[in-house]
Structure 1
Amino acid sequence: MKIAALQMVSTPDVDRNLADAVQLIAQAAAAGAQLVALPEYFCLMGRRDEDKLTHAEAEVQGPLQDALAQAAREHGVWLIGGTLPLRAEAPNKVRNTTLVWNPQGQPVARYDKIHLFAFDNGRESYDEGRVLEAGTQAVAFEAEGFRLGLSICYDLRFPEHFRSLMSPPCDVLVVPAAFTYTTGQAHWELLLRARAVENQCYVLAIGQGGQHENGRRTWGQSMVIDPWGQILAQQAEGAGVVMAEISHERIAEVRTQLPALKHRRC
């Protein structure tokens, strides 16, 4: 199966971001991708954290979800919709949510980001907990005979999250992200390759990548990594399609040669 990471440099303009996302979906589908994935916050890199509240949608109802469902249906692809804000139970909060649609445009999975990012080095400061309500459940789904486990950005730093997706084992771990330039430069590739190696599966990492209109710079480096930790495809910065082919045979080869998953004791 051909899979594609759709790297973006999203703006504070939701309509423009959505148009760019739909164009990238079409581009990837035309190149033969059967499953495509958008980055975290594909629809909005706002000027304030509170901008997410303005565009929050109810589940299975809203213009962002309608547009992505239509794109999946029109292009006949599995679509992992990066993340978009869904209404939370707590007042003045949203869930940072990954939704998945099948090639018929039907919703098949929802994952709410569990680990909320906080960072302060004296020059740049982030605290997602001000606006986001954390999720509680790990989620995986089946597509074209592959099992895919969902995560979002900061989840990458918590290996136990990915281990929880390995019973039964996933074939692909999906990581839509908006890593800061500072943290991405230091840890992005290191952590992604570690997750691939320790779980002996593919990793599909989809980043925001570049200088944003709100002043933020994200790391990019969207990539597909194989179960041996080899990078199959990659793009540094800027919008684009990062595509590679995955196979059950490669997963089986790695797990047979080095049966680490069978040797787990916890």
Structure 2
Amino acid sequence: MATGDIRRNAAAVREQMRQAAKQRARLIHFPEGHLSGYAKEQVDDWSLVDWDAARQELEQIAALAAALRLWVILSSAHPLTPPHRPHNSLYVISDQGRLVDRYDKRFCSNTEVTRFYTPGVRPVTVDVDGFRFGLIICVEINFPHLFSEYEQLGVDCLLISAYPVDEIFHVKARAHAAINNYWISLSVPAQTAHLVPAGLIGPNGARLADIPPAGDLVVADLDRGDPQLHVALNLARPWRATARHGDIYRARQVHDPRSADPTIF
């Protein structure tokens, strides 16, 4: 449950980290704005945010990540030097307790970019236990080229932190997973669970694991050996890369008057 209370949010984050570690998870992924609160929902004015509290809580979360040997992908507003607005960010905290990278939302909504956030400029990937993860935030689901970009960067699983406002969001996420043939982890707050289920989507677009209605955590494996994912991972994804490169088509193009003239039957 997302709130405007940073201390309360951080306590919930640490509790879920402990739960995940007990189930032998290696990475935990949180919704959009989960630490600071999300603009337009929990935050109306950045001057009301206790940034010192946010930094203190982030340090404690990082220390717990090291103690639990758990990677943490945590979303929060990231303050910039005044008068610049914050980024809408995902912190990448390693299982050593280090902040190793940060993804800043690149495509913000009109309200976000005009009133609340400074947009980011680059994709971010991180490798954990032989899998490559990419990061995207909420409304960016409407920009297919970002998903193609991550496929070309070799991502195995895309982590989407969101605060969705409609049911079609989940359909889009499943479509992107099936088109790009990678897993998608979709993390949303309890406030939006009636619209979009949080959980793991497979490279074939199938729902592999959803957080139960009364729960706040689901643990799932990325299994490259799952026979149900053979076509998506071992056939479709490499073929689409070959097709995108185009040589297989250019080599088969012909010079034929019946091809060149589009006005004949």
RMSD of aligned Cα (Å):
2.5
Give % identity.
24
Cα drift, residue 218 of structure 1? 7.5
Other-structure match for 1:254: 232
Alpha carbons of structure 1 residues 71 and 255: separation in structure 2 relative to 1, 3 Å: same
Residues 55-70 of structure 1 aligned to structure 2 (within 5 Å): 55-56=50-51, 62-70=55-63
Contact 1:139/1:150 (<8 A) preserved: yes
Higher mean alpha-carbon deviation, 187-196 vs 250-259, is at 250-259
- Give structure 2 stretches of 5+ with no counterpart: 247-265
Larger C-alpha radius of gyration, 1 or 2?
2
Looking at structure 2, the residues matched to 19 and 172 of structure 1 have their Cα atoms a distance apart, in angstroms, of 27
**SS of the counterpart of 2:34?**
coil
The superposition leaves residues 36-65 of structure 1 with CA deviations (integer Å, 9 ceiling, x where unpaired) of 1111111224644314762447xxx92132
Matches within 5 A, 1:209-228: 209-210=190-191, 219-228=195-204
Aligned pair in 2 of structure 1 residues 52, 146: CA closer, same or farther (>3 Å)?
A: farther
- Do the aligned partners of residues 18 and 50 (structure 1) sit closer, same or farther apart at CA in structure 2, a change above 3 Å counting? same
Q: CA deviation at 1:91?
A: 1.4
1:94 match: 86
CA distance in 1 between counterparts of 2:42 and 2:200 reads 30
Aligned to 2:170: 189
Structure 2 equivalent of residue 128 of structure 1: 112
| Residue 137 (1) aligns with residue 122 (2) | yes
Relative to total residues, which structure has the larger helix share, 1 or 2? Answer: 2
* CA distance 1:50–1:202, change in 2 (3 Å): same
What's the CA shift for 1:201?
A: 0.6
Aligned residue number for residue 122 of structure 1: none
Q: Alignment length, in residue pairs?
A: 238
Q: Structure 1: state its 5+ residue gaps.
A: 1-8, 119-126, 212-216
The whole-number CA distance in structure 2 between the counterparts of 1:16 and 1:238 is: 20
Cα distance change of structure 1 residues 200 and 70 upon mapping to structure 2, 3 Å threshold: same
Runs of 4+ in 1 over 4 A off after TM superposition: 236-239, 250-253
CA deviation profile, 1:181-227 (whole Å, cap 9, x unmatched): xx2x2x1211111111111110011001227xxxxx97451010111
What TM-score does the superposition give when structure 2 sets the normalisation length? Answer: 0.81
Deviation at 1:68? Answer: 2.1
SS in 2 for 1:96: strand
